[in-house]
Structure 1
Amino acid sequence: MAQDWLIELLKGTGKFFLHPIFYYLLFMAAVLGVSRVKRERSNFHIRAENAYFELRQLLPIGILIGLGLSVLTIGVGLVVPMAAVIFVAFFTVLWSLTTKVRLLSPGYTIGFAFFVTLLAGSREWSIPFFSDILNALDGEIYPSIAALLALLVIGEGILILKNGSKGSSPKLIKSKRGQRVGVHEVKRVWMLPVFLLIPGSAIQIPFEWWPVFNVGDQAYSLLLVPFAVGFHQQVQGMLPKEAISILGKRVIALGIFLVLFSVGSYWIPTLSIAVVALAIIGRELLTLSQRLSEENLPFYFSKRNHGVMILGIIPDSPAFKMALGVGELVTKVNGTHVHDEQGFYEALQRNRAHCKLEVIDTNGEIRFVQRALYEGDHHELGILFVQEEKKWDTKAV
Structure 2
Amino acid sequence: MFPFLQLIPITLQAFLQTFIDPAYLFLYLVVCVIIAIQYNRMEKLRENFFGARAGRTRKDFLAAIGYGLLGGLLGSYLVIFVGLTISGELYYLWPVAILLMMINIRFLCFAYAGGILALSNLIFGVPQINPSQILALVAALHMVESFLIFAGGHLGAVPAYIKGPEGKIIGGFTLQRFWPIPIVVLAVITGGMADGGIEMPGWWPLIMPGVEGNPQDLIFALLPLVAGLGYGDIAIARTPAEKSRLSSLFLGLYSLVLLALAVLAGHNRAVALLAALFSPLGHEAVIYIGKWFELKGEPIYVPAAEGMRLLDVLPDGPAWRAGLRPGDVITAVNGVKFTDRTEFYNLLQSSFLPPGVDYISRAAGAAKNTVIKPPEPGKAWGLAPVPESNEGRYVELLTVGPLGRWILKLWGKTSR
Please tell me the TM-score bracket, short chain as reference: 0.7 to 0.9
Which one of 14, 18, 32 corresponds to residue 38 of structure 2?
32
Q: Structure 2: how far apart are the matches of 1:164 and 1:93?
A: 23
Tell me which residue corresponds to 1:130.
none
**What does residue 283 of structure 2 align with?**
283
1:222 aligned onto 2:222 = yes
**Where does residue 24 of structure 2 map in the other structure?**
18
Q: 1:170 aligns with which of 152, 159, 178?
A: 159
- Distance between the aligned counterparts of 2:165 and 2:81, measured in 1? 53
Q: Are 1:185 and 2:174 an aligned pair?
A: yes
* Cα deviation digits, residues 304-359 of structure 1 (max 9, x gap): 23121111222321223344322222223344444432343344346565454443
Q: Which moved more, 1:275-284 or 1:147-156?
A: 147-156
Task: Report the CA distance between 1:365 and its aligned residue.
Answer: 0.6
| 1:315 corresponding residue in structure 2 | 315
With the length of structure 1 as denominator, give the TM-score of the two structures: 0.76
Q: State the match for 2:139 in structure 1.
A: 150
Give, as a single letter, the amino acid of the residue that structure 2 aligns with 1:221. A
SS at match of 2:223: strand
Provide the residue aligned with 1:73 in structure 2.
79
More moved, 339-348 vs 276-285: 339-348
Separation (CA, whole Å) in 1 of partners of 2:369 and 2:187: 58
Aligned length in residues? 375
Structure 1 pair 116–277 and aligned structure 2 pair: CA distance change class (3 A): same
Q: Distance in 2 between matches of 1:31 and 1:53?
A: 13
Structure 2 residue 109 is matched with structure 1 residue 105 = yes
Provide Cα deviations, 1:40-76, integer angstroms capped at 9, x if missing partner: 4555544445555664454321221221221222234
Letter in 2 for 1:252: G
**Are residues 178 and 104 of structure 1, via their aligned partners in 2, closer, same or farther at CA, if it must alter by over 3 Å?**
closer
Is 2:135–2:275's contact at 8 Å kept on the other side of the alignment? yes
Instruction: Give 1:1-397 correspondences, 5 Å limit.
Output: 12-14=18-20, 18=24, 22=28, 25-42=31-48, 45-48=51-54, 50-52=56-58, 55-81=61-87, 83-98=88-103, 100=105, 102-115=106-119, 122-123=125-126, 142-173=131-162, 181-201=170-190, 202=194, 203-213=197-207, 214=209, 215=211, 216=214, 217-265=217-265, 267-268=267-268, 271-297=271-297, 299-349=299-349, 353-363=353-363, 365-368=365-368, 370-371=370-371, 373=373, 376=376, 381-386=381-386
Cα distance 1:375–1:275, how it changes in 2: closer, same or farther (>3 A)?
A: closer
Query: 1:349/1:6 Cα in 2 relative to 1: closer, same or farther (>3 Å)?
Result: closer
Q: Taking every aligned residue pair, what percent have the same amino acid on both sides?
A: 21
Contact 1:32 1:187 in 2 (8 A): no
Distance in 1 separating the partners of 2:260 and 2:42: 38
Contact 2:97–2:110 (CA under 8 A) maintained in structure 1: no
Equivalent residues of 1:108, 1:280 under 8 A apart: yes
Structure 1: runs of 5+ lacking an equivalent: 126-133, 393-397
The amino acid across from 2:83 in the alignment is: G
Deviations 1:165-190 (A, max 9, x none): 21111123567887764332123332
- Residue type of the partner of 1:94? L
Runs of 5+ consecutive residues of structure 2 not aligned to the other structure: 1-5, 393-416
Q: Which residue of 1 aligns with 2:412?
A: none
Contact 1:79 1:196 in 2 (8 A): yes
Native 8 Å contact 2:27 2:226 kept in 1: yes
Per the alignment, do residues 97 and 375 of structure 1 end up closer, same or farther by CA in structure 2, a change over 3 Å counting? closer
Contact map agreement 2:122 2:273 (CA 8 A) in 1: no
Distance in 1 (CA, whole Å) between partners of 2:270 and 2:166 is: 51
Tell me by how many angstroms 1:254 deviates.
1.6
| 182 and 163 in structure 1: CA distance in 2 versus 1, 3 angstrom threshold | same
**1:183–1:301 Cα contact (<8 Å) kept:** yes
Contact between 1:192 and 1:226, CA under 8 Å: does it hold in 2? yes
So what's the TM-score if we normalise by structure 2?
Answer: 0.73
Q: Distance in 2 between matches of 1:178 and 1:288?
A: 18
Which whole-Å CA distance do the structure 1 matches of 2:150 and 2:97 have between them? 22
- The answer as to whether partners of 1:48 and 1:313 remain within 8 angstroms in 2 is no
List per-residue Cα deviations over 1:144-175 (Å, max 9, x = no partner): 43333223222222222332221111123567
Partners of 1:248 and 1:199 in 2: CA distance: 33
The two structures, once aligned, show a CA RMSD in angstroms of 4.0
**In 1, Cα distance between equivalents of 2:236 and 2:357:** 26
